[in-house]
């Protein structure tokens, strides 16, 4: 079946540090890949997405590239801010066979210290 | 920016009782979803709903669960006889089509005692 594996958290960084949150997936076929962010007390918000191999999703300074050869979709940001503190979820959706539910990773809690 | 609204934000219920979790999706969206997250665990897909019927459901979505779109705006999740293990955060989501990401609500925290 489909699955998503994320690095365990919490990840604690200083402001302006470089961020990488690893995400790898297992899926049949060619899924679409997503990163969602959950700020304290709020719902899940779509951060970025990529729908095919070598696509790069980007938003708010965050980037992730769909790597089919390594089945990965790592999230990166060059210089994090305190306001980036949140839980980040990697997710996939299989594009074939009528399935449209998202499969999520466990989430990575990111803490940015001033 | 349009939002998905969920009510209540927190509900406590006794084991065996029925609960209804309510959601108001974004008005022009066509696909509706329920997910849940047990504390410390993954967000799990429960069910998707399109054109007034269930289009997909997971193994979690057994006979105790049902969904309904009773009018043009609400989308509800009913749990017929709650169990302790139903305690979780329940998220509603909606989307205009299936190619893009969804918009999620803030969730309802259900506590079964």
Q: Sheet containing A62-65: which strands, arranged edge to edge?
A: A19-21, A75-77, A62-65, A56-59
Query: Token pair of A46, please?
Result: 């779509």
DSSP B21: E
Q: What is the mean pLDDT of chain B?
A: 92
Peptide bond into B8 cis (omega under 30): yes
What does the pLDDT look like over A52-63, one tens digit per residue? 999 999 999 999
Inter-chain touch A105–B42, beta carbons under 8 Å: yes
Inter-chain touch B91–A44, beta carbons under 8 Å: yes
Rounded-to-integer distance, Cα A1 and Cα A103, Å: 10
Q: Which residues pair with B105 in a beta bridge?
A: none
Q: Which residues pair with A37 in a beta bridge?
A: A45, A88
CB-CB neighbors (< 8 A) of A104 in chain B: 35, 42-44
pLDDT along chain A (114 residues), means of 10: 88 97 90 91 88 94 96 97 96 68 91 96
């Amino acid at each position: 079946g489909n699955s998503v594996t994320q690095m365990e958290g919490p990840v604690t960084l200083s402001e302006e540090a470089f961020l990488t949150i690893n995400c790898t997936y297992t899926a049949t076929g060619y899924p679409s890949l997503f990163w969602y962010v959950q700020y304290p007390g709020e719902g899940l918000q779509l951060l970025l997405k990529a729908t095919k191999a070598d696509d790069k999703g980007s938003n708010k300074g965050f980037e992730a590239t769909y790597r089919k050869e390594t089945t990965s979709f790592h999230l990166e940001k060059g210089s994090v801010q305190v306001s980036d503190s949140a839980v980040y979820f990697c997710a996939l959706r299989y594009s074939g066979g009528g399935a449209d539910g998202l499969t999520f990773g466990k989430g990575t809690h990111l803490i940015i210290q001033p | 920016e349009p939002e998905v609204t969920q009510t209540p934000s927190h509900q406590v219920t006794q084991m065996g009782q029925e609960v209804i979790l309510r959601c108001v999706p974004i008005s022009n969206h066509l696909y509706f979803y329920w997910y849940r997250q047990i504390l410390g665990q993954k967000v799990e897909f429960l069910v998707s709903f399109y054109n007034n019927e269930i289009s997909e459901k997971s193994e979690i979505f057994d006979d105790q669960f049902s969904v309904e779109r009773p009018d043009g705006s609400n989308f509800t999740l009913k749990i017929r006889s709650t169990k302790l293990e139903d305690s979780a955060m329940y998220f509603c989501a909606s989307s205009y089509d299936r190619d893009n990401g969804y918009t999620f609500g803030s969730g309802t925290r259900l506590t079964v005692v």
